[in-house]
Structure 1
Amino acid sequence: MSISSHAPTSAPGGLWKEVPVPPLRTLPWPVVARSQHLAAGERFPPHAHDWNQVVFATEGVLQVTARNARHVITPQQALWVPTGMVHHTGAVSAAAFRNLYVADDPALGMPDHCAVLDVTPLLRELIVELGQVRAEDDADYYAHLCALVTTQLRRQRQHVRHLPWPQEARLQRWCQALHDQPADARSAEEWASVLGASPRTLARHFERETGMSLRTWRTRLRLLRAIEWLAQGRSPTTIAHELGYASASAFNYMFRVEMGMSPLQWRRSRQPA
């Protein structure tokens, strides 16, 4: 599937500026680190690797699209992307991109699907250190770092928190409109009229392609957009309004149910010690 044609994404200003994927034909080590700064709205075009990838940023917010799903990644999180999966990564806000390429190994013990990883302070420092060490200067130390990183990857808590994206054109149009304007209050019946389908048919196709009801999907959408905007420094009150909630307390309740803490508590938990 072509991610670019089936699951377009919106940059902060409405348009993405694509930057080239750095060429790399082989992995000289089990783990290779690559660092790059991305400006807000910059993204890599859809591509795949012959190895696994850990998408991570020490600063900023990343949006990754892979296999009909969108993932929002903030610092203290990373996305595991298995070998061969077409994906593209963009910076929602200016990001210090810290990427790992990880060679396939049966002993890795990592999933064959995308998974969000909680990045511990130890793993974060190992990633940063790996990116600063020249393997040719100290091969033994670099090899030791590679082993520590792969061991730590297995120890990170994994969870699947993504936004499924349909492939059918009308459903894509609907989802993109809701993504761009999450406060849109039009009912499924009103959208059915706009899209030229009966409400029942639309709902059935939506659940078949996303595995979720529209209500559940919109809650997930609002949660991920809230995470993006909280990481950018917007206030919970402003976010509640932009997501279409009647009050800040209603938004706070949704966020607490989904994340186990209030929006402000979540933001504080993501700030460096």
Structure 2
Amino acid sequence: MTWSALSTPPDALPPRPITMRAQSIPARHEFPEHAHDWHQVVYAVDGVLMVTAENRSFVISPEQAVWLPSGVRHRVGSLLGAAFRSLWIAVDAGRNLPSAPTVLAVSPLLKELIVEAAAIEGRRDADGYPGRVATLILDQLGRARALTAGLPWPRGERLLRLCEALYVDPADSRSSDDWAKALGMSTRTLTRQFEAEMGSSLRSWRRRVRLLRAIELLSRGTGVTETAMQLGYGSASAFVFAFRTEMGASPHAYMRRAAGRREASSARPPKARGQNA
């Protein structure tokens, strides 16, 4: 299937100091390659994003964001759809942040600040509340842990076919030999090309895809057994073991933490009377 292009806002104004854009990206849609005169943080509160910048393509989960300095040409889309959040940040406001595209770990606090910024975008508040939220976001971005990268994503047509198929259906059990035959190449050529472009073996990449999809499914409330089946594990216990090995916590513990964050957010006290919307 082909991808469809999304339009970037034609009347975009420089952020002062932060502009928040909230938008849903349908499945197989993307913003074609472009650049901004300001910095950008690319994030999805739900679903996963595919980002290309400086000749690297990778996938990020809702626990990750991408920092894109001003002037960097980039492309953003989603294979299965995502709740997209884009933070435009003035150049001066981001002067202490990385000078190159960087994958950042998103803490629960930073996620809630992004959600809040989207909720109040465009509002005027006499006591300066939006400005304080913006200041906290910048502070949290400066404290965010830089990650090596998201899930590597190919750019060549044949590897794209392979990776898209495995991402859509992580339970696909076809071997390297099977895939090589389907793609019209030898197993040795497939292995060599995959490792050269992706920096890992196909087996290791499959494991990372399953982890990414597990986080996505669990975050949406899918049960452990159903998640295990959708990912192609032979049993729930096998999935729990793999998840704990990678994440340092069981899927149930992850779900409890996620539920706790949602409850804390929904329990946020209302604004005091007299505050402007």
TM over 0.5: yes
Greater displacement, 201-210 / 258-267: 258-267
Matched, 1:46 2:39: no
Q: Which letter maps to 2:58? A: A
**Identity of counterpart residues, as a percentage?**
37
What secondary structure does 2:161 align onto? helix
Deviation at 1:270, TM superposition (A): 1.8
Letter in 2 for 1:68: S
- Equivalent of residue 120 in structure 2, options 132, 145, 159: 132
Alignment partners' CA distance in 2, 1:80 and 1:24: 22
Contact 1:73 1:79 in 2 (8 A): no
Pairwise CA distance, 1:268? 1.9
Name the CA distance, whole Å, in 2 between partners of 1:247 and 1:191. Answer: 25
1:8 matched residue in structure 2 = none
Aligned mates of 1:123, 1:225 — CA distance in 2: 19
Native 8 Å contact 2:66 2:101 kept in 1: no
Matches within 5 A, 1:71-90: 71-73=60-62, 77-83=64-70, 84-90=72-78
- Deviation, structure 1 residue 214: 0.9
CA distance in 2, matches of 1:133, 1:68: 30
1:122-167 Cα shifts (integer Å, max 9, x gaps): 6733762586265876597655554443222111233345221222
* Residue identity matched to 1:55: V
Whether the aligned pair in 2 keeps the contact of 1:120 and 1:156 (CA below 8 Å) is no
Question: How many Å apart are 1:206 and its aligned residue?
Answer: 0.5
> 3-state DSSP class of the match of 2:158?
helix
Q: Which moved more, 1:190-199 or 1:49-58?
A: 49-58
The aligned residue for residue 197 of structure 2 is: 209
Matched, 1:109 2:97: yes
1:229-263 deviation line (CA, Å, top 9, x unaligned) = 11222111112112111111111111111111111
Q: Displacement of 1:203 after TM fit?
A: 0.4
Bigger Cα displacement from structure 2, 78-87 vs 117-126? 117-126
Residue in structure 1 matched with residue 137 of structure 2 by the alignment: 149
Contact 1:130 1:145 in 2 (8 A): no
Find 1:182's aligned residue among 159, 163, 170.
170
TM-score (norm 2): 0.76
Supply the distance in 2 between the matched residues of 1:239 and 1:165 (Cα, whole angstroms).
23
- Give the gaps of 5 or more residues in structure 2: 265-277
Letter of the 1:46 counterpart: P
Show the counterpart of 2:214. Answer: 226
Q: Which amino acid aligns with 2:112?
A: R
CA contact (8 A) 2:58 2:149 kept: no
Normalization by structure 1: what TM-score? Answer: 0.77
Aligned-residue RMSD, C-alpha: 3.2
3-state secondary structure, aligned to 1:270: helix
Gap regions ≥5 residues in structure 1: 1-13
